[in-house]
Amino acid sequence: MDVTSTVLLVFLGVPALVFGVLVFTLNSMARVTFALLASLVCVGGVVTVLGLPYLGMVIVLMMVMEMVIMAVFMIAYMMNPAGLMPMSMLHNKRGALVISSVVFAALVAGIFVVPWPGHAGALPRDTTFQAGMALMGPQMLTMVTLGFVLLATMVGATVLATRRGRYDRFGDDLDQRPARDPAGGGVGR
Amino acid sequence: MSLRAAAARPRVLLTVLPGGTAARLAAERQLRLRDWPLAASPAQADLLLVAGPDCPGLRAPLERLWQDLPTPAARVSAPGADAVQAALDSGRAQLGSREGQLDRIRASAGAHRHGGRPAKGEEGPGGVHDGHGPHGHGGMEMPGGLSMAGVGEDRDGLTLDQLHLPLGPFLADWPSGLTVHLVLQGDVIQQANLADPIAPGGEGAAPFWAQPWIQADAGEPVTAGEAARRRSAAHLDSLSRLLSVAGWPAQTVVARRLRDDLLAGAPGPAMAPRLERFTRRVGRSRTLAWATRGIGELSTQGGKQAGVSGPAARAGGDVTDRYRQWLADIRRDLGRLDQPARLQAAEAEESPRGRWRAQHPPSAALVTVLPALLTGAELAAARLIVASLDPDMDELLPTRREVRAPHD
Amino acid sequence: MTESGAWWTLLAAPAMLFCLAALAVAANSVLDARDAGRSAGPAAAMRPFLALPRALLTQPRRLPAPDVLLWRAGIAIVPVAAVLSTLVIPFGNVAVADLSVGVLWFNAMEVLTWAGLWLAGWGPNAAFSLVGGYRFLALGLAYELPLMFALISAATGAQSLRVGDIAAAQQGLWYAVWMPVAFVVYLAGVLAFGFLGPFAYPTGRDLAGGVLSDASGVEWLLLQAGRWLWLAAGAAMAVPLFLGGGAGPLLPAWAWSLIKTLAVLAVLVVAVRRLPLVRADRYVELAWVVLIPLTIAQTLVPALVDLAR
């Protein structure tokens, strides 16, 4: 590993940790969410420097969208209005401490215990292709199944959470067009 | 030097007081020709232009609006249309003057020491913080001294925070003098309450848009062409606000320019093709129709029951139908802009917002249907609904009704 | 074909982006002047830049209990992300850094605007500003997926995420020609992440300016600059993705890049003025019911073509 990469790793890794600590010490919902986002963006950078730019960029891309949407929900559903009041981000302190210590210890042990494979051959020009083949080659069935399970979960959760069903929208005989909605959509179904 | 450079193209917050329609029109025309942009909020403005006769009831909210302008800022007022030019020139001079700005900084520093400025997220009186529902958090320190929101059931059966947000009386592209107090959950309106219209201090002038009809009522000679011109200009004015709120700035400017030319007496044959082109472009825009469809449904029947008599009743439908009715009315009046015949009894020729009756001005009916239409709408839809009805609050001023003899 | 540039391109790329954005602003101002009945000369083109000294001079103003840190961060993110996105856009045959995942980089920078605008709406602690920030998220949920599929179409066609490869793969036939849906959806996406014209919903005048309603001075300037910088960056990116990059007869590659970028920018400025605003509640349904299936089908086309090769 050359000097530039090492410097970059430090410059990304340290902020990632600092922002990670801030997630638990800040007292505003919005700030906590965006501290977490900043931490994850740094992690994306770390992954990129480690030679997997595709995964690194995808982490940045997905985490920004995810965290912004999460901020909306966290703030909407906080019991004190809009998450505006200063609040502590720590709950169940003792249990959380035990669990996080055990997980941390296990992960650190993993670093030393796992027999990491040695460096074999030159780095490929484009690791994206390699990552794709590794995931989609032998594991195609797993990935396809996972994809559908995730999608089905999202659709199912939304359907369960929605109070209004198709009978509310289309009437008892499902023949009312356009649908009766509180706010009409753009296609006019 | 640098202050002068910053004042080269001031952004103007145009604030209209009741009875200030003529001054507003003159100001909008001047600003368009000078290319001084119209600001949408105090934060973006350097020049506060108050159009219309002084109104004691609105002095306090005006003062807060003024405090909300970032320095450098200047404040000028134009009680009538003829004062606009001078007011704008003096505003720019004040913006460029070092002494004037230093005074303002000293004054605002003083205000800060005495508790700072009020919270404001909008240009209405009363900021975000006033009237936040039940205050059940005695003793706890609130961020910024703001109180907590109350909660209530929303339309999906969830218990959500309620935000009390007044719209008006000073809001860009909003009927001057109208104030609606909203209770919002998210951006859905749970409740809409109208505030009483605020009367101007002195003797109210005749409402600008209904002037020809009032004069005809009083027996003065008014030509049909003059009335048609005023009516088309009024519709263009309403359209310009609707287009602005709906988000089509390019056509907003076109509508204002056509309105100004009509009022300035440009000959009918020259105006006709330009009006034709404008009504065609706006009327045929599918995107605009798509964005406004299904909002603020007001059937002909329901409108008539509430006493609505103008284009809003004839259109009998949603926002799309109503702006298309305005466009159709403009097209219908194209050939009559220069008609020399005398305006018949007010019954025969409709004033811009409906049949003119001094006791029951057409805008009064438009205002009464507002709360029902607004409840359940989303904030964006609410602005479209108000703009598509565009009540002229000047018609409602009590001074007017006393001055005019009852006709019917 | 496309190579990474020398160190000075790191300065040249943002400078060119600023020039393109300024050109778009000037063109828009001239068209404004024409519509408003003022003289539409060079003076009219310079008028919007008078806002610069004004914005730098304006005193900052604060509402009670703002989150100044998040507010400033959000406002800065928008123009900064726009500038960063240009790193991977080749001009002629030179890009600042022709990353192997260039398309993804552009996409990630564009998505940063989500965070930026939401924070810009959240920061000042004012109702209209906050509603404006939320509006951009609603719009984002609608425009982002079709836009991603449009980008994926181009990447699938070239079998590479490297922007240079995508431009080079269009020898003979532009992607805009045989992937028209992706091209149009991409252009709509540019207007959307620039929150301009039909997608100016977060700054709607019905909200007294939305996310802009409480921004004054430099804050206002940065957000306004951000939207036009994004428009210029989007136009520049359309050239390698869909219009064959710098390829063309007679003229050198950089000239073709410039001509094509200006053409796309002109189309976008006209669209900004011609189209009225589309509210997110309408656009979300259109995007999910019509545009996503359409763009997925569009992605299938280059995939099948690649398989048949």
* pLDDT tens per residue across span B94-139: 888 887 777 777 776 665 544 434 433 333 333 333 333 333 344 4
| Closest CA relative to residue B244, chosen from C134, C282, C214, C204 | C204
Taking residues B328-344, report their average pLDDT.
Answer: 85
Query: What confidence category does residue B204 fall into, taking pLDDT thresholds of 50, 70 and 90?
Result: low
Note whether A182 contacts B157, CB cutoff 8 Å: no
Burial environment of residue A117 by CB neighbours within 10 A (0 to 12, 13 to 18, 19 or more): exposed
**Total number of domains in chain A:** 2
Least confident segment among A61-65, C96-100, C227-231, C296-300: C96-100
Judge contact between B401 and B199, C-beta under 8 A. no
Tell whether C285 is within 8 A of chain A (Cβ). yes
pLDDT of residue A135: 81
pLDDT of residue B123: 38
Query: Which residues lie closer than 8 Å to A28 by C-beta, 6 or more apart?
Result: A83, A84, A86, A87, C67
**Which chain B residues touch C215 with a CB distance below 8 Å?**
43-44
C203-238: per-residue pLDDT in tens? 988 888 889 988 888 999 999 999 999 999 999 999
pLDDT of residue B253: 94
Q: Tell me the residues of chain C between 18 and 77 that have a Cβ less than 8 Å away from chain B.
A: 31-33, 35-38, 44, 47, 50-51, 53-54, 57-61, 63-65
Domain region containing A168? 139-183
Cα distance between residue C16 and residue C5, in whole Å: 14
Please determine, for residue C308, whether its predicted confidence score (pLDDT) is greater than 60.
Answer: yes
**Which chain B residues touch C130 with a CB distance below 8 Å?**
121
Q: Which of A60, A65, A128 sits opposite C161 (nearest CB)?
A: A128
Query: What confidence category does residue B202 fall into, taking pLDDT thresholds of 50, 70 and 90?
Result: low
Query: Which residues lie closer than 8 Å to C50 by C-beta, 6 or more apart?
Result: B5, B8, B9
Query: What confidence category does residue C276 fall into, taking pLDDT thresholds of 50, 70 and 90?
Result: very high
pLDDT of residue B306: 86
Helices (H), B193-266: 211-217, 224-246, 249-263
Cα distance between residue C149 and residue C194, in whole Å: 19
Distance of residue B58 Cα from the nearest chain C Cα, in angstroms:
20
**Which chains share 3+ C-beta pairs under 8 angstroms with C?**
A, B
A70-126: per-residue pLDDT in tens? 888 877 766 555 556 677 778 888 999 999 999 999 999 999 999 988 877 777 777
Taking residues B276-293, report their average pLDDT.
Answer: 92
Note whether A54 contacts C70, CB cutoff 8 Å: no
ipTM for the whole complex:
0.90
Distance of residue A184 Cα from the nearest chain B Cα, in angstroms:
7
A146 and A67 both lie in a single domain = no
Residue A26 lies in a domain: yes
| Closest CA relative to residue C136, chosen from C67, C186, C79, C195 | C195
Residues paired with residue B378 on neighbouring β-strands, in sequence order: B188
pLDDT of residue A182: 73
Fold topology of B2-113: Rossmann fold (3.40.50)
Token pair recorded at residue C158: 């070239």
Q: Tell me the residues of chain A between 97 and 126 that have a Cβ less than 8 Å away from chain C.
A: 125-126
Mean pLDDT over all residues of chain B?
81
| Best residue of B148, B159, B162, B385 to probe chain A, by most A CBs closer than 10 Å | B148
pLDDT of residue C192: 94
A10-59: per-residue pLDDT in tens? 999 999 999 999 998 888 888 888 999 999 999 999 999 988 899 999 99
Judge contact between B68 and C59, C-beta under 8 A. no
Q: Where are the domains of chain B?
A: 2-113, 208-403
pLDDT of residue C23: 95
Please determine, for residue B315, whether its predicted confidence score (pLDDT) is greater than 90.
Answer: no
| Closest CA relative to residue B53, chosen from B82, B13, B11, B91 | B82
From residue B336, alpha-carbon distances to B275, B331, B339, B352 in Å are 13, 10, 5, 15
**Which chain B residues touch A85 with a CB distance below 8 Å?**
142-143, 148
CA closest to A126 among chain C residues: C100
Tell whether C112 is within 8 A of chain A (Cβ). yes
Least confident segment among A154-158, B67-71, C146-150, C173-177: B67-71
pLDDT of residue B148: 63
pLDDT of residue B64: 87
Note whether C127 contacts B2, CB cutoff 8 Å: no
| Best residue of C106, C111, C147, C151 to probe chain A, by most A CBs closer than 10 Å | C111
C162-195: per-residue pLDDT in tens? 999 899 998 888 999 999 999 999 999 999 999 9
| Best residue of B2, B15, B35, B68 to probe chain C, by most C CBs closer than 10 Å | B35
pLDDT of residue A79: 57
pLDDT of residue B207: 86
Homologous superfamily of domain range B208-403: Cytochrome-c3 Hydrogenase, chain B (1.10.645.10)
Judge contact between C253 and C240, C-beta under 8 A. no
| Best residue of C25, C203, C206, C207 to probe chain B, by most B CBs closer than 10 Å | C206
Distance of residue A85 Cα from the nearest chain B Cα, in angstroms:
7
pLDDT of residue A189: 61
CA closest to B293 among chain A residues: A184
Query: What confidence category does residue B324 fall into, taking pLDDT thresholds of 50, 70 and 90?
Result: very high
C77-125: per-residue pLDDT in tens? 999 999 999 999 998 888 888 888 999 999 999 999 999 999 999 888 8
Least confident segment among A126-140, B364-378, C64-78: A126-140
